[in-house]
Structure 1
Amino acid sequence: MALDPTLDRLIRDIPKVELHLHIEGTLEPEMVFELAARHGVALPHSSVGALRAAYEFGDLQSFLDLYYAGCDVLRDESDFHAMALAYFERAHRDGVIHAELFFDPQTHTGRGVPMEVVIGGLRRAMDDARSRYGITSELILCFLRHLPEEDAFATLDQALPFLDQLVGVGLDSGERGNPPSKFERVFAAARSHGLRPVAHAGEEGPASYVREALDLLGAERIDHGVRCVEDDGLVERLVRDQVALTACPLSNIKLRVFPEMEQHNLVALLRRGLRVTVNSDDPAYFGGYIAANFRAVARALPIGAADVLRLCENAARAAFVPDAARADLLARIRGAVH
């Protein structure tokens, strides 16, 4: 349905906090080809258009196969810097004022790209984004759940020299057959080093994975979490404890978690009192950055200005920032509607 112009302006103008963004998932096809040419990487697609046309996914795994292949063009620090800075440029246009970036070091270290190259390029872009656009940001290292626990421990060991540059750890990749319990010990180790835990759960996996993420990993936020509704007791707990759900509407449609946006449960979750937020996940693959996600929801579901404000406030409250910074984020968000 058509989007009300007043609501559209609010979505455009309101300051936003993004909590569920895979930086490798911002690698647009044009940059894939640019970096492939720079490094002499052969691509299986003949053109930018052909690559973009391949972005039709039957499920999460079919997306991940293409996602990991695309990462092969990331070879040196300048590549990671260029990719992240391109995200921040788009985020600035969308009104993002704080972002917490997921990155998948195993995707790169497994190809021989050192941890310091990955983090160095990303942090340089984060510094540039702050100086150019005023965007603050944090970095969250994610473990790939389809790989063994010992790989995650090795990755954590490689990350220890960079602890001052990381705010947390996460868990991503294919949920099916890879429950959070598989990583209980490595998350305990990460928490002992002061890293704040989050985890993907309840996207393709069942509501029980959300419980495991909370109980066994100590997750402070649940990434996706839309299947929590399968367990009323879990929903009550999430409401009581105000655990944020970092929902990604366009991703959920693209990966067929919901058949169409009109059937997404984001508004229903919001009405039940859950601290749900809107994010873009892997926007280069799923058809839109954070403002496009807000607009897609607003076109398909019954939300108004108060709901947009609440979604943005929820994200600010769930951000891993000091209390003074959180108060500033909230003031800037509220200032857009008063």
Structure 2
Amino acid sequence: MKKIGVLTSGGDSPGMNPAIRAVVRKAIYHNLEVYGVYGGYTGLIAGNIQKLELGSVGDIIHRGGTMLHSARCPEFKTIEGQQKGIEQLKAHGIEGLVVIGGDGSYRGAKALTEQGYPCVGVPGTIDNDIPGTELTIGFDTALNTVIDAVDKIRDTATSHERTFVIEVMGRNAGDIALWAGLAGGAETILIPEENFDMDEIVNRLKKGHERGKKHTIIIVAEGVCSGVEFAKRLEEITKFDTRVSVLGHIQRGGSPSAADRVLASKLGARAVELLIEGKGGRAVGVENNQLVDYDIIEVLGRKHKLDLNLYKLSKELSI
């Protein structure tokens, strides 16, 4: 293998740039040519592909987002769209592709692999919901962004003796809500993986109020319900002064944390090694602080499992 490509797809996450940097520099170290695909699978179909040099990825390790940009691409879900992408790769002489992204990005890589084109998936998503790895690139940074917001909101909640409902990202996975809730000392955490009991939440709030507690923090993953609607319902029942903060896309931005930079560098470099070894159709990850890789089809057939022991602990510590 003499030429490889790299693209980012789907939602951006802090740490994608360090991953791109690792892919480019690891490949050049091993005398490979590297080509960046700009605009995800949409850019692949359009042939928006450029050769990358060492200097192309200089001064990006600390930057959030992705220098290759990203886009959703419904066309790539079709065989025709995939064939167009393969034609562009062949036209540039690209023999293998590193795909950095989440579930949808992996599905695109899987489709290419099934058509005989070697791809390696690198887990880049703030949701931490990719099987085959304990951590995804961007999760740690997003988590710290949320915790910083929770700490600031707690200050004003205490000052005004209010209940605050904070809605965080997580349509199908509650990792951000759970980890941020536990680290931020939230009294209640709502996640998609577990049903919630409104009566239990109300009783907990009232008990806290009775023992002199002046404020409450509730973290809601967007996949559970709207934070605004939940707060409205809660205030109607309890009559407590309740406010809402929807953190939104601020969770995706910002300079990647040291942990995410290291993780991205390790996973990006390992993806290149797999292609050099002639191993396509793989997905890299980290388990027990060790690099691992699995068949990408196997990974997509598995379901992400949230650590319910953390959820139990959060309830025990928020009495």
TM-score by length of 1: 0.27
The structure carrying a bigger strand percent of its residues is 2
Higher fraction of helix:
1
Bigger Rg, which one: 2
- TM-score (norm: length of structure 2): 0.28
